[in-house]
Amino acid sequence: MLIGELAEQTGLSIKTLRYYEQVGVIDVAERTPGGYRTYDQTVLERLRFVRAAQAVGLTLREIREIVAFRERGQSPCAHVHRVLENHTAEVDRRIRELRQLRSELTALADRATALDPADCSPSTICHIISAK
Amino acid sequence: MLIGELAEQTGLSIKTLRYYEQVGVIDVAERTPGGYRTYDQTVLERLRFVRAAQAVGLTLREIREIVAFRERGQSPCAHVHRVLENHTAEVDRRIRELRQLRSELTALADRATALDPADCSPSTICHIISAK
DNA sequence: CTGCACCCTCCCCTACAGGGGAGGGTCAAG
DNA sequence: CTTGACCCTCCCCTGTAGGGGAGGGTGCAG
């Protein structure tokens, strides 16, 4: 299978497939005598894994590391568990930050309805935001 | 006041101040005959506004647009109100996405404790992630 | 043999908010 | 006059996941 067909089957772009090879989330492809990349069916499984891992927020770098365990003949289970824990903690942290930000935005909006635009002094640019 | 002193007073770096001028969130500075930027006290107020606006998640581009209203002698109030509404909606959207992601991550962690690593087939790389 | 679809590498570009450093000018004190 | 602190512009670099396009090779049909 050439790269164009693989792209069509997976819905990924040719650029993306070459990029995946470059960053190491899929194996370096075999080449035809003319230099064309060729793929067998096993790459499809790999790409499904990459997609699943990206869907839960893993970066290509993290995915490459997980894949590397397999390439070394090791089970990535423990490593994956740690990575997922870190990601969960990170997501929690981001959610807390955004909630905080959200409440600040709401406070600003409330103030915006309470304040009179006439009080808005040019030097502070905007009383909604800069009033402390 | 030269740029170094302004940097020290505000806690911003010299690079940041020059960048702010370049992107238009502060006015183009006056220069000494030798070509040094000079600032008066009014820039401090402006920089406080920039900081406050960044703190609620506005980009420098958005801040520049708000500032531009003032430069044109208009009140930015209505515009700011719209921008804040959009940001609130965006933050809400992000929080929803992250909650969804969070529950997926939890589901994966649960499966990880339930599954036996021995079931982990090399071709799927990791049964925690790729099991559907 | 020529046309056309497909493929290759190489290089630059995106957003965001600056950081690092080269190479050189300015200005006050000693 | 020189030293040292400060300033200038210009250019490249950061991370993420690729996208766009130039310039040129491959491989098969007609």
Decide: pTM greater than 0.75.
yes
Q: What is the mean pLDDT of chain B?
A: 91
- CB pair distance less than 8 Å for B109 and A55: no
Phi-psi region of A94 (alpha: psi -120 to 50; beta: other; left: phi over 0): alpha
Q: How far is B77 from chain A (nearest CA, A)?
A: 7
Query: Does the pLDDT of residue A120 top 80, yes or no?
Result: no
Nucleotide nearest to B35 (CA to C1'): D8
Q: Which of A70, A102, A128 sits opposite B77 (nearest CB)?
A: A128
Nearest chain A residue to B92, by CA: A102
- The Å distance, CA of B113 to C1' of D25, is 52
Residue with the bigger pLDDT between B121 and A46: it is A46
**Range of lowest pLDDT (A8-12, A16-20, A76-80):** A76-80
Q: What is the largest CA-CA distance in chain B?
A: 76
- CB pair distance less than 8 Å for B76 and A126: yes
Query: Does the pLDDT of residue A130 top 70, yes or no?
Result: yes
Neighboring chain B residues of A126 at a CB cutoff of 8 Å: 49, 53, 66, 76-77, 80
Q: State the pLDDT at residue B118.
A: 67
Q: Cα(B63)–Cα(A129) distance, rounded to whole angstroms?
A: 11
Q: Which bases in strand D are touched by protein, i.e. have an atom under 7 Å from a CB?
A: 6-9, 16-20, 25-27
Q: How far is B75 from chain A (nearest CA, A)?
A: 8
Strand C closer than 7 A to residue B19 Cβ:
yes
Q: State the pLDDT at residue A109.
A: 85
Spatial CB neighbours of B10, under 8 Å, sequence gap ≥ 6: B17, B44, B47
Q: Cα(B52)–Cα(A83) distance, rounded to whole angstroms?
A: 35
Distances (CA, A) of B35 to A37, B3, B25, B32, B120: 57, 12, 21, 5, 67
Mean pLDDT for each consecutive 10-residue tract of chain B (132 residues)? 96 97 96 96 95 94 94 88 92 94 90 73 79 58
